[in-house]
Each structure stands twice: as C-alpha cells, then as structure tokens.
Amino acid sequence: MFANLITGAIKVRIICAILFLIGGCTYNEIPKTFFNCNSTTLAVTLVSKLNPTSCFAIDGSITVSASGGIPPYAFTINNGSYQSNGVFLYLGQGSYTLYAKDANNCERWIQVGITAPGSNLDAAVATTPDNQCLNDNGSIMLTATGGTPPYSYQFGTEKAGKQNSFSNLRSGSYPFLVRDTTGCLITVNVRVEHGDTGTSFATNIKPILDKNCAVPGCHNGDNGASRNWTVFTQVQNNASNIRTRTTNKSMPPAGSTVLTEDQIRLIACWVDDGANSN
C-alpha cells in the first residue's frame, strides 16, 4: 500500500511539472478552498477617538478594532499602508475612512470624524458614482464652509488651489485637505462609489476565462468540479477570489499568458457589479 502511495505521489509531481512547463496550473498554485467575501462576518468598530487640540494641530487619534472573519487582521486609514494594529496617531481635524482586512483578504470599513475645539471649518461633499469600467467617470465636488474664506483645496499630493471639483475618478477613496485663509485645515476623505458598469459575463468575461483559465490542467475541471470555470455557477461562487487573484496577478499562474490591465479591470467590474449572469 505504501509503495502505491509513493508511486501515486511521484505521478502527481510529474504531472504538475509537465503542466507547469506547458503553462498550466501547478498543484501549489491552485487554492484548495475559496471564500466569497460577500458572506464574510468581518466587521470594523470604533474603539476610541481623540480630537486635535486646535485646527492647526495634528495631535488627534483614532483607534478601531476588528471582529468576525478570519484573524489575523490588518488595518489602514485613508487607503494608506496596512498595519497590524488599529491605532492611528497624528491626525488633524476631519473625516477619515478606516479599513480592516482579514486573512481571507476581505475588507470592511467605517468613516470616523474628529473635530477641533472652537473650529467651525467644514466641507460639504457631493459625488457621482463611477459607472464606466474602462473610462472612469466618477466625480467629487467640495464646498468649504465656516472658518475664514477664501479657501484652498488640495487633492492628495497635488498642489493646493481654488479648484474644488474633480472628475474622471475611479471608484475608491480619495483624501483632500481644505484650508481657510488663516491656515486652519480639515482633512476630508471622500469615497466615490462603484456604479453598475453593465460589464457582461457573456461578452466581456467568459472569453477571458475560456482563453486563459479554463484550459487543460487548470480550471477546466481537471483539478476538481469546484474549480471548473467552464461552468457559470462555479465562476459565480468563486467570483471574489477570481477578482482578488487576477488583481494581484497570481492568476493565471506563472508561465501562462499575462492578463492585460483592461482584462483585469473588466473582471473586477463584473464582480463589483454583482457577478451577474448577463
């Protein structure tokens, strides 16, 4: 019996080596389990916040925690680098978006505001969603109030100026700084929501999967029925993971044709639209 097991293991390794050479999946590159982040129990919760001492200071802080999902967790604020704890220091007054990510790479977020005593500087926000996949059309308009006008607006690391409307934006989170004439400032983190892009599975996604994924030795059923991308329900059930692995470029595997950036974005749009049968 042991001899048969050893012989079987050797055969598997030989087959995997051949598949790698011809551009197929290798055993270690095929995830054994999949998880749909739409069903995650992950949650992020505000623990505490400390307001800055003035509108010129950056001594505020926010602390969040995570629960549910699969530990360990990682945290980020305003789309910065992830860290192992949910404590964020050196913050000025404003609104912040804080994200928690678990071991399944699922994300959840909350928005938290902190204010400086004696300051009424604020900014109203108007947005339109991004509902085009390959041609971003989201927009943001900021309107400062309070403080001492005139105001200046700074988008990310760009130079501050009078422009307060920003277009051709992809769905996501964007940081702004709003200043009044005294130098008092407020951070405004704005989310552009994802609108329905109408990305079609039949027209846009299936041809990508058929050519690059549903091939012999990979996601055509050779490695198990639950990994058969020729069956729509299997693709739909694993949509979140397909999005994650094509976005981080771990799928298709090494040795295969690399997906173009437009193909990667189409897959992401289809998943974000709800992975519809369209």
**Taking Cα atoms as reference points, which of 45, 52, 48 lies closest to residue 66?**
45
- Which residues does 229 contact at the CB level (< 8 Å), separation at least 6? 209, 213, 214, 219, 220, 235
CB 96 within 8 A of CB 112: yes
Domains defined along the chain, listed by start: 2-30+197-272 (no CATH), 41-119 (2.60.40.1080), 121-195 (2.60.40.1080)
- Residue 38: predicted pLDDT: 74
pLDDT of 143-182, one tens digit each? 999 999 999 999 988 999 999 999 999 998 899 999 999 9
Q: Is the pLDDT of residue 9 over 50?
A: no
Instruction: Identify the residue with better confidence: 89 or 6.
Output: 89
Tokens of 66: 């995570």
Q: Could you tell me the pTM of the whole model?
A: 0.75
Q: What proportions of the chain, in percent to the nearest 5, are helix, strand and coil? A: 25, 30, 45
Q: Region 189-214: what's the mean pLDDT?
A: 94
- Residue 29: predicted pLDDT: 45
